[in-house]
């Protein structure tokens, strides 16, 4: 590649540099939250909390919640872009946040029932709150009467809306009660009552709440009940333990106020400072807001110690969004590669190759960062499998491009890289993508051997299938597919299928060993591994068909396309069975998407089965029959 770059003309080199600078600018941008400059939302976003069993910046909670509600990590209101963390602070302090149209509803029947416009998709909490009780009751009836896999679209939409409604209220009340207008004064009164009535409170608790409380104690108990309710509804835990070695005893503010208040008659300073932060924002005092955040950071830095760097790295990772940027650049690579087949072939192809290398580096950096944050191998759930499958395919495509130098590798890298990152984005709509591992899967050795190996097998099988699609599209719709080109592409497909068989077989065997050692059972227990075996069997069939002469170049390509169906079934299909170890991956919308993908692959196979004389490249692949066809179609000249 370097040799080819040196041989380019000066104008071509300058053009390549300009394209690279555009890509570099895209990757360098986006390290900070861009909101009101008076309020230091970046520092607030770094404050650590525990959510879904993992220490993370509060920024992650805000982003995940907004993704579930809205489908994006920021939104526009009256022409102004609002970040997730700013929205979170406003949600906790200001009723105007209830006017933001951020709750997505798609089902027309559900919208009609609430007399909402079916032409819109996004609605505000103000528009929905009058239906809140009815939505929750309907969802409860559905939960009680219908299993998840048997619900129709309307029931799924109702449960989804109830979940969003609850999530909205949970986040709003995760630090302090939303209706607390003077939180600092309330906390001061609460602490005075704790100190003054400590003995009476303990006596009341020891009597199993049978004694008659005094009027003052009733006031204290009422406040404690309020904070207990706050504890029950809170979405995350922002109060770190004072002992850095006790990372397992994080509390939400309600727990801290009730349990620590009873035991020590003191309010954790971290709770008071959170009250200062929110109260300062409510009063529109950015100086107090920023100073309170600095005080909170001082406390958590002492309490967390070694966990702080991870929290800060996750904040940077969230704002940089490497996979989103890579997704955009994969589209750019696709455009450059397509143009290279029509004009300025060499400069555009080389530029696409260089940009692909840069994008692969960013893709890799994103995966390594996730590994560092989680402390696990790269594949731990469906989301990470999508990212890793794309990464492995792009790596193989880069190798193919370096060997062939014709743009095919760049094209496949852009298509598979973009496609898998779009799948990952859709999977991220469920919330946290770095949740705690299920105990049954919590083995870094097997995650790094069996799971990674089998996932590379998925990736290479998909690559072989998409190369098969490339073969059909190029042969059907262009006249550039010669017999030599056909042989070359089928040779690449053959090599990828061999590689896929090796990885899939080794991964399946490793899975059997893991299952046998851990549970004493494999094939009959987990359909996911049966799906992996299906990939192995199909790749074996492809190779035997090729070796036996049953298929040649075109047949090999079409069989590789069917491998996409086998792999997608193993990847997503078995998750919809709700049986075995991987049943936790069930998704409501996956059945339609999977069916659409399978149908598309069958249609492409059908297109590829048309006689070669009907292909645009038939003049090269089957010249005799192509000539006869053209003679029959074209009218005789006078």
The pLDDT of residue 17 is above 90? no
* Average pLDDT, integer, range 602-623: 87
Sort 424 into a burial class: Cβ within 10 Å, 0-12 / 13-18 / 19+.
Answer: buried
588 shares a domain with 552:
yes
Cβ neighbors of 39 (< 8 A, separation 6 or more) are 86, 281, 286, 289, 290
206 shares a domain with 267:
yes
* Average pLDDT, integer, range 319-334: 93
**Cβ 60 vs Cβ 433: under 8 Å:** no
3-class secondary structure for 70-116? Answer: HCCCEEEECCEEEEHHHHHHHHHHCHHHHHCCCEECCCHHHHHHCCC
* Average pLDDT, integer, range 492-503: 96
48 shares a domain with 165:
yes
pLDDT at 638: 35
225 shares a domain with 138:
no
211 shares a domain with 159:
no
Q: Tokens standing for 437?
A: 């591992």
Could you tell me if residue 288 is inside a domain?
A: yes
615 shares a domain with 534:
yes
45 shares a domain with 24:
no
Backbone angles phi, psi at 295, to 5 degrees: -65, -40
The more confidently predicted of residues 501 and 210 is 501
591 shares a domain with 533:
yes
pLDDT digits (tens, 9 = 90+) for 133-149: 999 999 999 988 888 77
Could you tell me if residue 638 is inside a domain?
A: no
The pLDDT of residue 566 is above 90? yes
pLDDT digits (tens, 9 = 90+) for 538-565: 999 999 999 999 999 999 999 999 999 9
The pLDDT of residue 85 is above 80? yes
pLDDT digits (tens, 9 = 90+) for 247-293: 668 999 999 999 887 888 889 999 999 999 999 999 999 999 999 99
The more confidently predicted of residues 449 and 630 is 449
Could you tell me if residue 315 is inside a domain?
A: no
Could you tell me if residue 140 is inside a domain?
A: yes
Residue that terminates a domain, selected from 137, 172, 207: 172
Could you tell me if residue 212 is inside a domain?
A: yes
The pLDDT of residue 82 is above 50? yes
* Full domain range(s) for residue 390: 1-30+321-432
CA distance 44 to 59: 8
CB burial of 112-124 (b: ≥16 within 10 Å; e: otherwise) equals eeeebeeeeeebe
262 shares a domain with 136:
no
Could you tell me if residue 479 is inside a domain?
A: yes
415 shares a domain with 471:
no
pLDDT digits (tens, 9 = 90+) for 449-465: 888 999 999 999 999 99
Q: Tokens standing for 268?
A: 């954790």
**Cβ 511 vs Cβ 450: under 8 Å:** yes
**Cβ 237 vs Cβ 245: under 8 Å:** no
Residue that terminates a domain, selected from 128, 147, 172: 172
Could you tell me if residue 450 is inside a domain?
A: no
pLDDT at 637: 42
488 shares a domain with 627:
yes
pLDDT at 513: 81
299 shares a domain with 371:
no
Could you tell me if residue 443 is inside a domain?
A: no
Residue that terminates a domain, selected from 172, 203, 220: 172
The pLDDT of residue 521 is above 70? no
The pLDDT of residue 300 is above 60? yes
For residue 429, the 8-state DSSP code is T
Give the total number of structural domains in the chain: 4
Read off the pTM.
Answer: 0.87
């Amino acid at each position: 590649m370097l040799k080819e770059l040196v041989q380019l003309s000066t104008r071509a080199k300058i053009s390549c540099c300009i394209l690279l600078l555009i890509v570099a600018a895209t990757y360098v941008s986006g390290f900070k939250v861009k909101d009101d400059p008076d309020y230091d939302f970046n520092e607030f976003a770094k404050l650590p909390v525990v959510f879904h069993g993992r220490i993370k910046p509060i920024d992650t909670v805000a982003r995940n919640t907004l993704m579930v509600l809205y489908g994006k990590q920021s939104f526009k209101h009256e022409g102004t872009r609002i970040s997730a963390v700013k929205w979170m602070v406003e949600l906790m302090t200001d009723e105007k946040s209830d006017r933001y149209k951020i709750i997505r509803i798609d089902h027309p029947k559900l919208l009609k029932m609430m007399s909402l416009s079916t032409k819109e998709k996004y609605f505000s909490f103000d528009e929905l709150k009058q239906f809140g009780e009815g939505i929750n009751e309907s969802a409860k009836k559905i939960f009680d009467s219908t299993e998840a896999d048997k619900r129709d679209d309307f029931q799924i939409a109702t449960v989804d809306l109830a979940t969003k409604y609850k999530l909205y209220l949970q986040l709003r009340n995760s630090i302090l009660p939303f209706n607390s207008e003077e939180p600092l004064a309330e906390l001061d009164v609460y602490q005075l009552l704790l100190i003054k009535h400590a003995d009476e409170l303990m006596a009341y608790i020891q009597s199993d709440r049978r004694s008659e409380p005094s009027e003052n104690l009733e006031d204290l108990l009422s406040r404690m009940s309020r904070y207990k309710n706050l504890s029950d509804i809170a979405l995350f835990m922002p109060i770190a333990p004072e002992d850095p070695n006790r990372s397992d005893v994080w509390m939400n503010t309600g727990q801290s106020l009730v349990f620590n208040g009873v035991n020590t008659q003191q309010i954790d300073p971290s709770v008071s400072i959170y009250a200062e932060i929110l109260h300062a924002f409510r009063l529109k005092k950015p100086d107090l807001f920023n100073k309170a955040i600095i005080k909170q950071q001082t406390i958590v830095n002492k309490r967390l110690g070694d966990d702080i760097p991870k929290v800060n790295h996750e904040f940077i990772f969230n704002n940089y969004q490497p996979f989103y940027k890579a997704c955009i650049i994969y589209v750019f690579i696709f455009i450059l590669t397509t143009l290279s087949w029509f004009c300025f072939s060499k400069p555009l192809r080389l530029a696409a190759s260089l940009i692909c290398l840069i994008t692969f580096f960013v893709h890799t950096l994103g995966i390594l960062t996730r590994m560092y944050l989680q402390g696990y191998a790269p594949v731990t759930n469906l989301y990470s499998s999508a990212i890793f499958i794309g990464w492995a395919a792009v790596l193989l495509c880069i190798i193919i491009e370096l060997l062939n130098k014709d743009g095919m590798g760049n094209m496949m890298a852009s298509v598979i890289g973009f496609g898998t990152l779009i799948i990952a984005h859709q999977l991220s709509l469920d919330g946290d993508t770095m949740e705690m591992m299920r105990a049954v899967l919590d083995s870094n050795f097997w995650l790094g051997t069996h799971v990674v190996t089998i996932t590379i097998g998925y990736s290479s099988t998909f690559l072989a299938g998409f190369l098969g699609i490339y073969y059909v599209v190029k042969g059907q719709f262009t006249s550039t597919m010669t017999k030599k080109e056909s042989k070359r592409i089928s040779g690449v497909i053959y090599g990828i299928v061999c590689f896929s068989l090796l990885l899939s077989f080794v991964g399946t065997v490793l899975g059997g060993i893991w299952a046998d050692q851990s549970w004493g059972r494999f094939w009959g227990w987990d359909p996911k591994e049966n799906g992996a075996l299906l990939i192995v069997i199909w790749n074996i069939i492809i190779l035997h068909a090729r070796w036996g002469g049953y298929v040649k170049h075109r047949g090999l390509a079409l069989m590789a396309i069917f491998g996409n169906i086998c792999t997608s079934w193993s990847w997503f299909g078995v998750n919809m069975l709700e049986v075995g170890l991987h049943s936790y991956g069930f998704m409501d919308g996956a059945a339609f998407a999977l069916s659409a993908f399978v149908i598309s692959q069958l249609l492409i196979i059908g297109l590829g089965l048309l006689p070669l004389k009907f292909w645009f490249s038939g003049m090269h692949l089957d010249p005799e029959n192509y000539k006869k066809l053209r003679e029959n179609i074209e009218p005789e000249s006078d």
